[in-house]
Structure formats: structure tokens, C-alpha cells
A = this chain, B = another copy of it.
Amino acid sequence: MHPLASRFGSVLRHRRELAGLSQEVLAGLAGVHRNYVGLLERGLRMPSILVVSQLASALKTQMSELLAEVEQEGADRSKT
């Protein structure tokens, strides 16, 4: 599991839960397969920017904002 995929997955899961969406509903809104959302959240897939932009749009945010959170998470981890 690549650390970047793992960080992306945990940000995605956190944002999805904040939005009160199930994996299935988020997948439907973003136009991706439900299983794929699960794989992403577990850090088992490295998404393309197209997938990130679709997920961001479904979560009413922007891909740059999602990825800034991913970077922040990386920076926080490297401090500890």
C-alpha cells in the first residue's frame, strides 16, 4: 500500500462520513463503482485526477482542497 494512496483513502473516508453518505451513495453521485470507493478508502488504489475530481464534486468540494488535506495529513505524520 503506497503511503499517498493510504492518506488519500483516509481523507476520502473522513469527508464521506462528514457528508453523511454511504459508500454506495457517494459512488453513485461520483459515477464510480461502489467497490472502487471501498478500495480507495482502504488505500488499495491510486486514483487518477479524473476520479478525484468526480469524488470532490460529489462531496461539494474541489480536488485541490481534498489533496491539500492529503498533503497536510502527510506533513502531520512526518512531524510525529
Contact = CB atoms under 8 A, between A and B. Distances in A.
Interface stretch (A16-24, A26-34, A58-66): A58-66
A2 interface: yes
Main secondary structure of the interface of A (DSSP, over half): helix
Contacts of A70: 49, 64
28 contacts: A2-B50, A4-B49, A4-B50, A4-B53, A5-B50, A8-B49, A46-B48, A46-B49, A46-B50, A47-B48, A47-B49, A48-B48, A48-B49, A49-B49, A49-B52, A49-B67, A49-B70, A62-B68, A62-B71, A63-B67, A63-B71, A64-B64, A64-B65, A64-B67, A64-B68, A64-B70, A64-B71, A67-B67
